[in-house]
């Protein structure tokens, strides 16, 4: 028996709806493969943590995350908690869990769209001739999200706010190595994204990436400014293989990439460090406007579940069953409101989860 402990953090807004579909998929895999056993424990986080325990990451949640083999998170945040000072906001729980619990220094976001599904994309068909198959890796330990000092104060009678971007050479180096190693297993192309025409941080980033590239002569490196990369992702997304960049820059680019596959609801994200443990989540937020309506796209979360199986548990074959079920469902034209093209095939969050489960059970590979 292969047993794995998974802590599920449904969180806020559409979070519980989408993580429920992830749980359904895990249960379906247990049914299909008798050697699998997932011990699932759900705990509050984000706004839910604040409401129930007065903090975005309650102590019990922290312990459960520390003890788990992997973590599946829905989404956090919402207008209800927007009044809180920065350090107490639900969003901080993401950064805390990613960096402290998992020891993550990278946030990995795969983006794929087969050519036969190019109608789903927000881009024109002519820009998608090669399909899309890229992986965006963002730093998750340094950069502007983590730099100190960060805060606000009154100077000369006026309020000022500041955030700091700081990188140690080593922090750039480990992201670069992760990117090069991954590129080696793929199409051997690495795009390093920065704003080196303006930022000193970016100039250091570029120097370090160039230096590291000498150890990977088989991988082609290209350096792009972030604005140019955003344009490239619209114009010719198929030309990218592995992208490495700072956290905020990558956060922006990953939503652009979401548009290229039809919706940010389609993409998964893994925060990983040097161990196999990871925090897996969809890249979308809590979408308070549609929360509780069974409308959200659960595919990002279901893909995050597949990512977890593969990365943290080494269940590569089982993860493929999930990916295949998603691909088949999309090929048949089924879609939640954000991607549905044919209103007769518009389905709800839970119906999408059910369809994926049905296909996992039926498919033989
Ligand atoms: C995401 C979110 C977060 C990120 C924020 C809230 C810190 O936008 O998961 O995409 O940028 O990682
Ligand atoms: Mg984001």
Residue 251 CA to ligand 1 center (angstroms) comes to 6
- Say if ligand 1 is within 6 A of residue 91 CB: yes
Residue 33 CA to ligand 2 center (angstroms) comes to 34
Cα(278)–Cα(300) distance, rounded to whole angstroms? 16
Residue 185 CA to ligand 1 center (angstroms) comes to 27
**96-148, pLDDT tens digit by residue?**
899 888 899 999 999 999 999 999 999 999 999 999 999 999 999 999 999 99
**268-305, pLDDT tens digit by residue?**
999 999 999 999 999 999 999 999 999 999 999 999 99
Residue 180 is assigned to a structural domain of this protein: yes
Residue 115 is assigned to a structural domain of this protein: no
Residue 197 is assigned to a structural domain of this protein: yes
End-to-end CA distance of the chain: 21
State the residue range of the domain holding 247.
Answer: 122-260
Residues 214-238 as b or e (16 or more Cβ within 10 Å = b): eebeebebebbbbeebbebbeeebb
Cα(147)–Cα(365) distance, rounded to whole angstroms? 47
**191-234, pLDDT tens digit by residue?**
999 999 999 999 999 999 999 999 999 999 999 999 999 999 99
Residue 113 is assigned to a structural domain of this protein: no
* Residue minimizing CA distance to atom 7 of ligand 1: 91
- Say if ligand 1 is within 6 A of residue 94 CB: yes
Q: What is the DSSP letter of 87?
A: G
- Say if ligand 1 is within 6 A of residue 251 CB: yes
Together in a domain, 127 and 236: yes
Which listed ligand is nearest to 109 at the C-alpha? 1
Together in a domain, 164 and 188: yes
Q: Domain holding 144: CATH number?
A: 3.40.718.10
Which of 228, 245, 260 is the endpoint of a domain?
Answer: 260
| Average pLDDT for 59-79 | 97
Q: Tokens representing 47?
A: 């706004």
Residue 7 is assigned to a structural domain of this protein: yes
Residue 247 CA to ligand 2 center (angstroms) comes to 10
> For the whole model, what pTM was predicted?
0.96
Residue 31 CA to ligand 1 center (angstroms) comes to 34
Who surrounds ion ligand 2 at CB < 5 A? 251
Q: Residue 312, SS3? A: coil
Together in a domain, 244 and 267: no
Beta partners for residue 220, in sequence order:
189
**134-192, pLDDT tens digit by residue?**
999 999 999 999 999 999 999 999 999 999 999 999 999 999 999 999 999 999 999 99
Together in a domain, 273 and 221: no
Together in a domain, 251 and 267: no
Together in a domain, 30 and 82: yes
Catalogue the E-assigned strands of 207-332: 220-225, 242-245, 268-272, 278-282
Cα(270)–Cα(264) distance, rounded to whole angstroms? 15
Together in a domain, 278 and 223: no
The answer to whether 336 touches 300, Cβ cutoff 8 Å, is no
**Alpha carbon separation from 223 to 33, 90, 205, 209, 218 (Å, rounded):** 44, 34, 10, 9, 16
| Total domains in the fold of the chain | 2
């Amino acid at each position: 028996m292969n047993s794995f402990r998974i802590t599920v953090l449904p969180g806020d807004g559409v979070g519980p709806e989408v993580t429920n579909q992830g749980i359904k998929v895990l249960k379906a895999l247990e049914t299909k493969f008798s050697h699998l056993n997932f011990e699932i424990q759900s705990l509050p986080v984000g706004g839910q943590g604040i409401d129930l325990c007065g903090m975005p990451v309650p102590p019990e949640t922290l312990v459960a995350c520390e003890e788990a083999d992997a973590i599946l998170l829905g989404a956090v945040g919402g207008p209800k908690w927007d009044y809180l000072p920065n350090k107490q906001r639900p969003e901080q729980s993401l950064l805390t869990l990613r960096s402290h619990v998992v020891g993550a220094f990278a946030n990995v976001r795969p983006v794929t769209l087969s050519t036969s599904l190019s109608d789903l994309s927000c881009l024109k068909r002519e820009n998608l001739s090669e399909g899309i198959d890229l992986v965006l890796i963002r730093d998750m330990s340094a950069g502007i999200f983590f730099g100190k000092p960060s805060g606000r104060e009154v100077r000369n009678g006026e309020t000022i706010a500041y955030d700091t971007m700081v990188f140690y050479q080593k922090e750039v180096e480990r992201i670069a190595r992760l990117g090069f190693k991954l590129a080696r297993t793929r199409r051997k192309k690495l795009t390093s994204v920065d704003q080196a025409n303006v930022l000193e941080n970016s100039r250091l980033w570029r120097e370090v990436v160039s230096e590291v590239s000498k150890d990977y002569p088989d991988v082609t490196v290209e350096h792009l400014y972030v604005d140019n990369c955003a344009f490239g992702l619209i114009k010719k997304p198929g030309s990218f293989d592995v992208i490495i960049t700072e956290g905020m820059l990558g956060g922006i680019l990953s939503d652009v990439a979401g548009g290229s596959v039809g919706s940010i609801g389609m993409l998964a994200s893994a925060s990983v460090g040097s161990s196999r443990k990871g925090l897996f989540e969809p890249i979308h937020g809590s979408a308070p406007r549609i929360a509780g309506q069974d409308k959200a796209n659960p595919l990002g979360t279901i893909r995050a579940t597949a990512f977890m199986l593969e990365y943290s548990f080494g269940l590569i074959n089982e993860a493929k069953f999930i990916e295949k079920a998603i691909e088949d469902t999309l090929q048949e034209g089924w879609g939640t409101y954000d991607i549905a093209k044919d209103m007769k095939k518009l389905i709800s969050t839970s119906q999408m989860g059910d369809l994926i489960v049905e296909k996992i059970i039926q498919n033989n590979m």
